[in-house]
Amino acid sequence: MTTETTVKKFELPMVEKVLTKVNSLKEIGGIALPPDYSAENALRSAWLILQDLKDRSNLPVLKACTTDSIANSLFNMVVQGLNPSKRQCSFIVYGDKLTMQREYAGSIALARRYSAMKNIYAGVIYKGDVFEYAIDTTTGMKKITVHAQRMENLDDAKIIGAYAVVAFDDGCVNTEIMTMAQIQKSWEQGPTKGKSPAHNNFPGEMAKKTVINRACKLLIAASDDSVLMEPGEDGRIGRAKAEIDAVANQGSVIDIPDDELFQVAEEVKEVCIPIPDKPENKREWKNEASPKEPGF
């Protein structure tokens, strides 16, 4: 049997399995997706991408990676409401494990979705630029007061920093600023250690992506899920949020067979909902999130 045939037979059960899990969680209020997000479209797009993706040994990832890691990556993508066709996320192979990595466009999408961020802009600071900023001592928010730049300064070999300006719905503005040394340390956390063709050929663009991701990170982490909850007729938050909060605050047990349990990636906040099943298959999940972020 050829690899192509194996992959095609693998497709329908895997995509449908993840989609079935998502739909079953939605039905019991265990997961809430944005109203403008199509999990099915995102899964189909991801599968088309995965069919062409290969690991370092030039093996198709759908054959080289474990089925559990593929399912986890797809489920992780859906939980975060990301779409790979919009370059909001990508899939990375580590050994025989497939992982889903949120890209900077995905960070922007989540920050807009879950916070009061209206827009975000980024700029590069080159040697020779006149760059000054002020800090509001009452809020700690930074604001650029001067950035004067000449055409002759635009040299990728002379980048000294980058910044991202975040505009909020209420008119407030905050700025995230990183030196090139900080940016390079962030790159070193990634699988290519900042040595990829994109980093080597377009360091300015990659620097802007890094500072944008950093600016969005706290907005995403500090947000709640209120935008996903439908208000009840009495004006209070809907039943789903109340159930999720109750379970999350009390500790939780998910009754799902081990061979069907999807372990969501570390960066996703895991909300636990009891699902009836056999008592011997119980497994405890803690409601916690990891601060780890991939490098860019």
Residue 233, pLDDT > 90, answer no
Domain coordinates of the chain in residue numbers? 3-105, 116-221, 231-284
Residues 228-232: contacts with CB under 8 Å, at least 24 apart: 228/32, 228/33, 228/34, 229/32
Whether pTM > 0.85 for this model: the answer is no
d(CA 241, CA 119): 28
List pLDDT tens digits, range 195-211.
888 899 999 999 999 99
The type of residue at 3 is: T
pLDDT surpassing 80 at residue 115: yes
In this predicted model, what pLDDT tens digit does every residue of 15-26 receive, in sequence order? Answer: 888 888 888 888
- Helix, coil or strand: residue 288: coil
Q: Residue 255 above 60 pLDDT?
A: no
Selection from 146, 190, 164, 60 nearest residue 107 by Cα:
164
Interatomic CA distance for residues 36 and 233, integer angstroms: 22
Neighbouring CB atoms inside 10 A of 82's CB total 24
Amino acid at 201: N
What's the mean pLDDT in 126-155? 95
To which H or E segment does residue 267 belong?
none
pLDDT at 235 over 80: no
Q: How confident is the model at residue 219 (pLDDT cuts 50, 70, 90)?
A: confident
pLDDT tens digit string along 258-280?
333 334 333 333 333 333 343 33
- In this predicted structure, the answer to whether residue 110 has a pLDDT above a threshold of 60 is yes
CB 134 within 8 A of CB 145: yes
**Radius of gyration for the chain, computed over Cα atoms and rounded to the nearest angstrom:** 22
Mean of the per-residue pLDDT values of the chain: 76
